Chains A and B, each alone.
Chain A
């Protein structure tokens, strides 16, 4: 796949979400329009019933008009029920499609989307933002029905009386706009204060997440004090916001009520003058009340569309993020020999690094600067391409190879390699359908972990392996890497949380298990270094002294300093 194929036209997100669901949105909107039109007809029919049946005492007319009322209700009820379902399904499906597209982008083999963004932020784009973009489909249906309701009511009003109709149609929208404008600064302030109000929840969750740390230093009272402060600040902000909202609501009621008084006064005079009928007066008053519904709905529609657009921008920003590694579609030559070379590589702190690992070698790298070690691991995993120079597998530059196919040959287990929700066995077998799993369990010394878990290999690890201790997690991650049985395996500080005896055992077993296969360990642990065929000291961004661990311990002071505590 070329990197260009990843890009999605900006702004296309919102249009795509609607266009992809156009049938559902069209059908749903049509039904919601029918519903709103039916709602608009109810006061008209009630007015007609009073005028034609109650005033005249005509029982037949009563039957007819009640029949009309029943049919209207049946239509509005059924069309609401199914119209809402259509637009909701359109909304949910569009959000689901976006969510998957986002997941694909974040997990794409060429990377570049998730780096440098906190997981929580990514989660909120894939959940709330995707939902908000999808909801635009509901907004379209509701907006269309509001327009229809306004149109029907307007037509009915103009039919009754040009004067009354004109008064309502010319007077009411500006009035509602006025209410909206009066309220806007208040509502805006309310929104920013709501954000502060949410703060208290964040503080509480944070304190509980750090509860052990907090108890360890006896900071309970300080924590309670801090929470009380933020809770009181939240309360004050919320009350200011609530006051603003109450004022807006009150002003709205006052102004629409006053307008109704005006309509009643003028309408009453028209009836008294014999210019309109009594039923029409009742309908006009009813319609004025009805109209405030769809009219104020339009302001929500505008607001929701704006929110949908903002969310679509965030979604597009993530989908469009440039890939971290470009180029390369070839597959590594089968079967891979497993020779890895770095030539004149510049990347972060690496400054002209040349490194040659032959096929089947068990090599270790000690970095005097931990950041250089991390940069090397990043390049070997092809999480990034070097600024200059090249990384090669069996003589072919990484940049010519397809990243996924390359990683099937070169497996890199990062220092903070994440485990996944699921059973221990799921985690171990994820990248290893083969029979290496049992041998890997032994080599990584995971037997005691398996024994301690209720259910053994089938035990659920829970969120990212949180049920395990740091040392246990590390050993399971190591076992997963070993089980993958790759031609080249890169391990970064795999045993920092493991005790010395276990570490020495692991070092020897890893060496045996990987015999004949290329293994590169980036570490400063003497136990792992001693097990390597050859150790390379990485100093000043370049390869320095090379030799066995023992040789280097004897002859190189820098090496001793880097390895010994």
Chain B
């Protein structure tokens, strides 16, 4: 099935700015941080001035005793600068990290509440990139770029004030470097964005190729594909190397150009100092202070200019996150009516992913409370879509779905999720302890309840045999579970969540035939006492169901008990004979 691809929104610049400002709202914290940094930086900038004063004292041949006072001032400046820098940095971190945490929580919350349909249209790659890469990009900016930019900008700004305080002409001389710096920055930004973007893409492609080859090492060997795969990795790795070197060339040219600005600035200050000292308008000490000031500016200016790029990148990431938080949350009815029982009714349900191609073509079906229905049909018949419609995950294009007499639309997402549970072929074990994984279904469940649920699906024995039992780390970074065990956990979650209606969509496939039988037993135990819709290609599940529903091209073509349908001369009888050929001795 081809779906229209639709990216998640990205916020516009003004919206992003407003959101960033709103996040930095603890005003008193922001003010305190700013005050600490300003005073600390000013104390640091007093140093060249005091040194200049020492130069004047010795040039005037004043007594050695007079040097003690300035030396103590230097010490005091160091203390003030050191203490306030520490305080300021810590405050900036509190401000930035706090805002970041709030932002990432809002993003993840909104993402998790989005309808699955919407997420599938966007592709989950985009989402993962937003919650991991974009958040990391901003975190990096908050941790590294933000404090360094803040202090560099303060040093540059206050130094200009310092130069002007010595003599306005000295400040003017220092500004000679500005046009070169501005031009260099513009040149750099114009070239850096595409180069860095290409570099990141190449690195991602390299990682993907490595993962593809490495995780498929078994198949690579079995089919003798190693030379081809090594060549693929080499190509990707060389591509990435070439782009990294382009980025290196760019940044080295950037700093080399800034050297020219430094030279021009120092020469201008020394020349201006020369003229002003010769005409007696400033002292040698003042000229010295000015030169020292300017030399000390080299690093902060370079940092500031180099970080503009990081700031732009973080800005782009921020707008992608704000774009998500600004999406409308799905409507939730304030007080949804309670379903009367565990019945399911579908009335003329139709669905098309692409208009004109109906995947569901007028489905009418009534399922009694506690009834177990097996949904059968060849692939492409629309079974999975029907399962998703009943689970409330896919909104049908037309028709009504009622759970316990209440229409899905009136029930809202939260109440629907309480009524229906869906386990599909897709397995996922959540990273954390095994108990954490199960508690996703019911956070209040005690260890004995977890054990009872595991017992019911036949998993307790192997869970007990794990190194730390329920406390064993599973999922990504933990103990790897076979597909069969992972799916048993999924069934145990269904038991814990205790949904009155449960849908299993090929939940027992893909684990080998012997495994499938064990899972079927687990599924049967988990479904006991619930209304169940079981999509299955193993017809043993059909034989065990109260009623079999056969689908073909989006329609229900046959339904009845297994015994009735086998003797009728319909599609189910054909399926059954193919299935049981070779099963009957």
Contacts and interface: CB of A to CB of B under 8 A. Distances in A.
Interface in A100-156: 100, 103-104, 106-109, 111, 114, 118-120, 122-123, 126-127
Interface stretch (A15-23, A206-214, A333-341): A206-214
A500 interface: yes
Given A103-B213, A253-B85, A213 B513 contact: no
A234 interface: yes
B402 interface: no
A278 B59 contact: yes
Interface in A378-402: 381, 383
Interface residues on B, range: 35 or more
B82 A253 contact: yes
B224 A201 contact: no
B539 interface: yes
Given A119-B214, A246-B86, A500 B579 contact: yes
Interface in B195-219: 206-219
A104 B227 CA distance: 9
Nearest to B292: A286
Contact of A565 (B74, B291, B517): B517
A213 B490 contact: yes
A502 B428 contact: no
Nearest to A289: B296
A216 B575 contact: no
A85 B208 contact: no
B229 A265 contact: no
A350 interface: no
Interface stretch (A3-11, A162-170, A525-533): A525-533
A187 interface: no
A413 B222 CA distance: 7
B131 A260 contact: no
A83 B213 CA distance: 36
Contacts of B58: 268, 271-272, 278, 281
Nearest to B544: A565
A439 interface: no
A406 B424 CA distance: 39
B585 A553 contact: yes
Contacts of B481: none
B249 A85 contact: yes
A147 B211 CA distance: 41
A376 B273 CA distance: 88
A99 B237 contact: yes
A421 B207 CA distance: 12
A64 interface: no
A218 B418 contact: yes
Main secondary structure of the interface of A (DSSP, over half): helix
A524 interface: yes
A235 B101 contact: yes
Interface string B91-118: 0011001100100110011011100100
B169 interface: no
B578 A46 contact: no
A114 to B, nearest CB: 5
Interface stretch (B17-25, B170-178, B259-267): B259-267
Contact of B270 (A49, A200, A265, A530): A49
Contact of B497 (A217, A224, A271): A217
Interface string B511-540: 111111100100000000000000001111
B228 interface: yes
A89 B245 contact: yes
B75 interface: yes
Given A69-B266, A208-B131, A253-B78, A430 B295 contact: no
Interface stretch (B65-73, B306-314, B560-568): B65-73
B497 A242 contact: no
A42 B131 CA distance: 47
B241 A96 contact: yes
Contact of A257 (B54, B74, B291, B418): B74
Interface in B476-500: 476-477, 480, 490, 493-494, 497, 499
A224 B475 CA distance: 18
A204 interface: yes
A73 B223 CA distance: 59
Nearest to B242: A92
A77 B417 contact: no
Contacts of A484: 223
Contacts of A65: 270
B514 A560 contact: no
Given A207-B108, A217-B493, A107 B220 contact: yes
A534 interface: no
A25 B133 CA distance: 33
Interface stretch (A52-60, A295-303, A539-547): A52-60
B75 A258 contact: yes
B281 to A, nearest CB: 13
A99 B249 CA distance: 23
Contact of A84 (B248, B423, B428): B248
Main secondary structure of the interface of B (DSSP, over half): helix
B90 to A, nearest CB: 4
Given A201-B135, A497-B506, A123 B210 contact: yes
Given A126-B210, A550-B585, A92 B244 contact: yes
A212 B117 CA distance: 10
Given A250-B82, A502-B378, A502-B379, A242 B90 contact: yes
A504 interface: yes
Given A50-B291, A285-B292, A501-B378, A77 B260 contact: yes
A104 to B, nearest CB: 6
A457 interface: no
B461 interface: no
Contacts of B345: none
A11 to B, nearest CB: 24
Contact of A46 (B81, B270, B431, B517): B270
A196 to B, nearest CB: 13
B82 A251 contact: yes
B325 interface: no
Most buried by B among A54, A282, A560: A54
Interface string A249-274: 11111111110111011001101110
Contacts of B86: 246-247, 249-251
Interface in B235-279: 237-238, 241, 244-245, 248-249, 252-253, 255-256, 259-260, 262-263, 266-267, 270-271, 273-274, 277-278
B471 interface: no
A123 to B, nearest CB: 5
B365 interface: no
Interface in A547-561: 549-550, 553-554, 560
A238 B97 contact: yes
Given A81-B252, A107-B226, A527 B440 contact: no
Interface in A454-475: 454, 463-464, 469-472
A547 to B, nearest CB: 12
A70 B497 CA distance: 76
Contact of B510 (A46, A212, A430, A470): A470
Contact of A469 (B97, B119, B379, B512): B379
Given A46-B266, A205-B132, A235-B97, A496 B513 contact: yes
Interface in B368-406: 377-380, 391, 393
B360 interface: no
Contacts of B179: none
Interface in A34-64: 42-43, 46, 49-50, 53-55, 57, 59, 62
7 contacts: A46-B291, A85-B249, A213-B490, A218-B421, A231-B108, A272-B62, A404-B224
A-B pairs with the 5 shortest C-beta distances? A257-B78, A218-B417, A250-B86, A254-B82, A210-B428
Given A127-B210, A227-B112, 19 more contacts: A57-B277, A66-B267, A70-B263, A73-B262, A107-B217, A209-B476, A211-B116, A215-B422, A217-B417, A219-B441, A223-B440, A246-B93, A254-B79, A367-B514, A472-B379, A493-B513, A500-B539, A500-B575, A501-B575
